[in-house]
Copies of this chain bind each other. A is one copy, B any other.
Amino acid sequence: MNFDSFFTFLQEKTSISQQGWEAMLPILSEQKISKGDFILTEGQICQKLCFVKSGAFRAFYLQDGKEINNEFFLENSIATDHESLTTQQPSRLYIEALESVSGIVLHRDDLIELYKLSPDLQAVGRDLLSLLLIERNRYASLFTLNTPTERYHYLLENRPDILERIPLQFIASYLGMARETLSRIRRKIS
């Protein structure tokens, strides 16, 4: 059981203290998820977060029989459906391991207890939410500000890891275009 990578992640992204981290340790657990397995499916109420030590998840909607990818969780990110986790309403998302994942799991109920026990951890949660909000707002702006070609370049420059590891068919819907369109954009460049 090695949770160091999660601590490093929190130290980089938030104002976590040594005491805060020690308070968190008891509710962490390690989990392996096989490639192809789901940690969340549509209709379920999301009960946990999974910090990705290694591997990759994708989160997607099933809309009119089509999979529309909404997010990719690679190393050093936290896979969850934040909306379902907080509202405790059924999720609309599927979260699937695209590669075998070694993860650190935190349960919602434990987290709520933890916040009561160590109130200074609230700031850590706030910092993480703040980063997520910035990321989601940028993602949303991609669609109103940029053309499909520009959206692809944004990914090239800002999240090249996704382009290297995630099949293009999944990336296309994440960027709001058809598989074929992404393929044609790529042809023009190289």
Measured CB to CB, the residues of A under 8 A from B are 61, 63, 68-70, 82-83, 86-87, 115, 119-120, 122-123, 125-126, 129-130, 132-134, 136-141, 143-145, 173-174, 176
Contact = CB atoms under 8 A, between A and B. Distances in A.
A61 B141 contact: yes
A143 B142 CA distance: 10
B144 A176 contact: yes
A58 to B, nearest CB: 13
Contact of A126 (B83, B126, B138): B126
7 contacts: A82-B137, A119-B119, A120-B122, A122-B123, A133-B133, A136-B137, A144-B174
A116 to B, nearest CB: 10
Contacts of A126: 122, 125-126, 129
A125 B176 CA distance: 32
Contacts of A123: 115, 119, 122
Contacts of A87: 134
A82 B122 contact: no
A21 to B, nearest CB: 17
Given A133-B136, A136-B136, 18 more contacts: A63-B145, A69-B144, A70-B140, A82-B133, A82-B134, A83-B137, A86-B130, A86-B134, A119-B120, A119-B122, A122-B122, A122-B123, A122-B126, A126-B126, A126-B129, A132-B133, A144-B173, A144-B176
A134 B123 CA distance: 19
Contacts of A139: 140
Contacts of A86: 130, 134
Contacts of A129: 126, 129-130, 133
